[in-house]
Structure 1
């Protein structure tokens, strides 16, 4: 890791660059955005989809996972043994599609995941999802794409919003409440944005048709509480029309219970998370220097977690072998440097360097702390060439390297042992053609070869005595092919369609082995043994019909395990759709929406299957003059029993009453 004086020197140099900046004819791109751009450095290319804060608020999507569910190609998975909210982008999970805030990577160092249920959306401006052919400027581990959270930036001298609401179960009992506030000021040459939010849920209630299970009676869902609070802050300097310098801070604190398994095929866990806390502190700058634009990012990200496992549903004793107390204390330091060079009016070259140091520290009660360190570096180049007024070529290349700096494991028999750190590198490349016959239409054809490194957990976890580490794991690779088309259909209608295919090589899979180091046979080890294929179709259609606003997206996804067709690829349906129908009547607004999905496998042997479902929401709002809005909504309108993971049923019919004031 570079010494802190070096980081301070780089940061100080970036902050003084505006004194040297020359004027540019184009305005600076939003600091938080990372997209493939054309040769003029302006229009974004590729199949990136985004959802803005108005859409997130209209559909009451208070957590990141549920907000992403609105987008094409994204499927939500929730519940499971860890009660985590996850998404898959065209079948790729969060280890392969990492999370960023304003272009800063924030995925957890240990396993690459992040519980999206802990990320509330009240302070976000929009969420962008890149798939397959994603910008090389994101850096390493974007095997399946990237998810970028763009925080708010004020546009007026003083602006903001405050809001809150209460939710009630079908039996009329209040089970949750939330409140939030966002304030901002833009004074021309500087701006300030701050946000606070608090969400507390005591429990949720199961649908009326739920049948009693061994670990769950009808009515209230056991151990289904959660509390999430968040504070965010952003200070920016804009000394001229082309340059921007920003300091950002996000602090989120959460705790949650883990509802027990409510199916009939396995035993249950009794887990609670007293802490799930994350802090992100970052700097960013964008400076124009003649034909060059220099961008700089530096960050320090921390993650603290505690997990307590109990003997039974009383959550009061820890005497059996299954009980434990575990703590994580992780952090990441990193930086990225980018040079965007306008070589000619038709040629744009972007060069980037990324450095990231990940440190994972963990221990169980009565055991010593274990420490793991990884250092990842990446070089990337992205070139855009305007072949004609309507045809653009984009080519990219990247080289990534990961060095295992330290790895300590603890077992009762061996004590604290240093493992082999391991080293791995990978190459990435992509090529895309984008044809725009007119301003309202675009064709895209792309191929991309991407990778992601095995996580610390993949390489070193003993998985509670049932597995053996494998420090020599190689990176996974995927080759993506896509043909896409978007166009305006007239009369306010817009269509986007994509056909895609992905070949995944060196896929990590748990393989059964014989090894005396396992204290709880059967024994397994993570190995690069599998190959998979993904075929799919996305369709998006938005428009108006006789005063009604209509939105629709559909995903067809066929995932195949080419190495062993008896082992299922889990947690994704073959068909997924979202549709909404809205209309305003003066100050009144009505919105009906539906999420639908076919069945999905919850276990790789196909024994556990979550059935398909269609769930409806209805919302009515009244907008007063002066920015005040009141709304009432019903979630799971028909009290349908459904689940994203077998044995983990979702809430029944729930009512939400809210107020929001914008100014």
Structure 2
């Protein structure tokens, strides 16, 4: 009986995505990829159907559907990231099938380079996040689950063409093939999203922004291939080997705002990630389960910095190249103690290496960190109504190498350093007889400073020199979360949360003088907020979804300044109308209040609302066509002041699934 309640509660937490998922299928994938007790799995899951209906082509855009998650854009670097209840990309780790993926140097992963095609789900953990998953989960976690076949033979093929300002400006293509039998499976997939230019809204008449309605320096090209091989020698055992190759290119449109910030024309001809990882799950009798993983992840990044349009045309600019890699492994052993009690232990190890040079023939600067994590979690079924889960972890990070080549030909080597942190959290969940549940969690979690935060010597975006601070301490967050999952009726469900996050020892850049800064554990920031997600069916033909986020940030040190890229309120709502079975129409609206684009508050991105419309039509079983209009009313809006987003754009596509 209790397992049925747990399944219902898990299903209910998916309501805001506008789509139900078969509990057993998703539970199996989560068991393989996300480590943690079943009660601790409070993730909100976004499904491919919702992603497609709302026309979200990259991971950053898709994650913005979730209440409490806001899309953030760094205009100066053309990076798309997200904030989860105020926490930024460095504080919320991202995983592929439970394996960490990030940028070893600065942690600023550009989620706009990650395509949503060929993903079976996107999972966001905002409150209780199992410490069994590894270190640095101060603000929650994000997991991208790659697809694997569920039938003996599966195949899909899709192509979409985009238009803006009267010209074809983009295309999106993907294909996959899956084979499955009693001993294992094979999944192969590939995708590409290419944007020749971003079309400007018709109301923008700014020569810096672009000519003939085309945003200057706005092209991008992202490709990804995935090969996944799984072995299932026994019913409860599974061993998977995954290879992911991701190649990206992007350009950065120039600033066209009203401040004194000068436009620049940066380009990234190389933004490539390559990942190899193994995962295993072995069941020993009726009590013990061993999970294992090992991985090797690489990141290559080349940046060409042109500070004027003339420099861009003449190819005169500065050069920066990263060649990074990460090796890691983890083990988890869990034991089923009683009917539903579970005790688990986990150990993680990883080494991050960052190599950087400022000229093609220059030697590499080299930095290396080693991180360990030991954790434990216990799930206790108090009775039929109450569940309690608690976890602890002890993490340590050792700096093994920090070497920089100076402009005068000398070499600087920084002393080794290390940090130790202890984390804990607990959650109590009560299940009502009417299938509702309420959960209260407390946590004290940390994040180690990145290599860039400790060793950077420049801030090129601001023209400042930075003093290194190798002995930065870890940031900490004390969090309280109260979440209610409920049904209003059989056709209406909701998820509502209130939370408080207090970040102490926050790593913030402090001005030493006008030209010099240093990162210090000098800040405290409080985030207080409310999330609400609703999904329902008005009539048999009409379904709606609604996501609302309210957050207040309070920076205690007023000299530090404002939190950037974080609107106080954001809303996403959609309605899907199915007049008859082959045809569905989805109208969506996204709105958010204004947000600061720099820490002193002098630049602010105005609030906006954007309307999108999509139609899907199934011609025959497995074959469908679609068409969409994004930014229907050609609104001029920006996530970061001075960096306008795309105007009205059109897409048509065709998709076949076997």
Q: Are 2:44 and 1:49 equivalent residues in the alignment? A: yes
Q: Are 2:489 and 1:477 equivalent residues in the alignment? A: no
Q: Is the 8 A contact 1:136 1:382 kept in 2?
A: yes
Of 332, 335, 348 in structure 2, the residue corresponding to residue 354 of structure 1 is: 348
Q: Are 2:224 and 1:227 equivalent residues in the alignment? A: no
Q: Are 2:244 and 1:245 equivalent residues in the alignment? A: no
3-state DSSP of counterpart to 2:295:
strand
Q: Which residue of 1 aligns with 2:33?
A: 33
Of 168, 188, 194 in structure 2, the residue corresponding to residue 174 of structure 1 is: 168
Distance between the aligned counterparts of 1:415 and 1:272, measured in 2?
A: 30
Q: Are 2:404 and 1:405 equivalent residues in the alignment? A: no
Q: Are 2:567 and 1:573 equivalent residues in the alignment? A: yes
The total of aligned residue pairs comes to 622
After alignment, is 610-619 or 484-493 more displaced? 484-493
Q: Are 2:529 and 1:536 equivalent residues in the alignment? A: yes
For residue 218 of structure 1, report the CA deviation from its aligned partner.
6.7
Q: Which residue of 2 aligns with 1:21?
A: none
For residue 106 of structure 1, report the CA deviation from its aligned partner.
0.6
Distance between the aligned counterparts of 2:44 and 2:564, measured in 1?
A: 24
Q: Are 2:255 and 1:261 equivalent residues in the alignment? A: yes
For residue 31 of structure 1, report the CA deviation from its aligned partner.
5.1
Q: Which residue of 1 aligns with 2:105?
A: 110
Distance between the aligned counterparts of 1:619 and 1:215, measured in 2?
A: 28
Of 311, 316, 324 in structure 1, the residue corresponding to residue 313 of structure 2 is: 316
Distance between the aligned counterparts of 1:61 and 1:47, measured in 2?
A: 23
3-state DSSP of counterpart to 1:210:
coil
Which runs of structure 2 are paired with 1:475-554 in the superposition (5 Å)? 475-513=474-512, 522-546=515-539, 547-554=541-548
Q: Which residue of 2 aligns with 1:379?
A: 374
Judging changes above 3 Å, is the alpha-carbon distance between structure 1 residues 31 and 275 closer, same or farther for their aligned structure 2 residues?
A: farther
Q: Is the 8 A contact 1:442 1:485 kept in 2?
A: yes
For residue 570 of structure 1, report the CA deviation from its aligned partner.
1.0
3-state DSSP of counterpart to 1:344:
coil
3-state DSSP of counterpart to 2:452:
helix
For residue 533 of structure 1, report the CA deviation from its aligned partner.
0.4
Q: Which residue of 1 aligns with 2:9?
A: none
Distance between the aligned counterparts of 2:559 and 2:398, measured in 1?
A: 34
Q: Which residue of 2 aligns with 1:13?
A: none
Of 179, 186, 190 in structure 1, the residue corresponding to residue 180 of structure 2 is: 186
Q: Is the 8 A contact 1:97 1:141 kept in 2?
A: yes
Structure 1 gaps, min length 5:
1-26, 39-43, 515-520
Q: Are 2:577 and 1:583 equivalent residues in the alignment? A: yes
Q: Is the 8 A contact 2:36 2:133 kept in 1?
A: no
3-state DSSP of counterpart to 2:62:
helix
Distance between the aligned counterparts of 2:76 and 2:170, measured in 1?
A: 23
Q: Is the 8 A contact 1:35 1:45 kept in 2?
A: no
For residue 491 of structure 1, report the CA deviation from its aligned partner.
3.3
Distance between the aligned counterparts of 2:380 and 2:103, measured in 1?
A: 36
Q: Which residue of 2 aligns with 1:417?
A: 412
Instruction: State the Cα deviation string for residues 512-537 of structure 1 (Å, max 9, x = none).
Output: 226xxxxxx61111000000100000
Q: Which residue of 1 aligns with 2:457?
A: 462
Distance between the aligned counterparts of 2:496 and 2:212, measured in 1?
A: 43
Distance between the aligned counterparts of 2:530 and 2:231, measured in 1?
A: 43
Distance between the aligned counterparts of 1:357 and 1:558, measured in 2?
A: 36
Structure 2 gaps, min length 5:
1-26
For residue 210 of structure 1, report the CA deviation from its aligned partner.
1.6
Which runs of structure 2 are paired with 1:64-75 in the superposition (5 Å)? 64-75=59-70
Judging changes above 3 Å, is the alpha-carbon distance between structure 1 residues 311 and 545 closer, same or farther for their aligned structure 2 residues?
A: closer
For residue 239 of structure 1, report the CA deviation from its aligned partner.
1.6
Distance between the aligned counterparts of 2:503 and 2:321, measured in 1?
A: 34
Which runs of structure 2 are paired with 1:145-164 in the superposition (5 Å)? 145-164=140-159
3-state DSSP of counterpart to 1:466:
strand
3-state DSSP of counterpart to 1:71:
coil
Judging changes above 3 Å, is the alpha-carbon distance between structure 1 residues 442 and 311 closer, same or farther for their aligned structure 2 residues?
A: closer
Q: Which residue of 2 aligns with 1:94?
A: 89
3-state DSSP of counterpart to 1:660:
strand
For residue 213 of structure 1, report the CA deviation from its aligned partner.
5.9
Distance between the aligned counterparts of 1:243 and 1:46, measured in 2?
A: 21
Distance between the aligned counterparts of 1:392 and 1:37, measured in 2?
A: 11
TM-score (ref. length: structure 1): 0.92
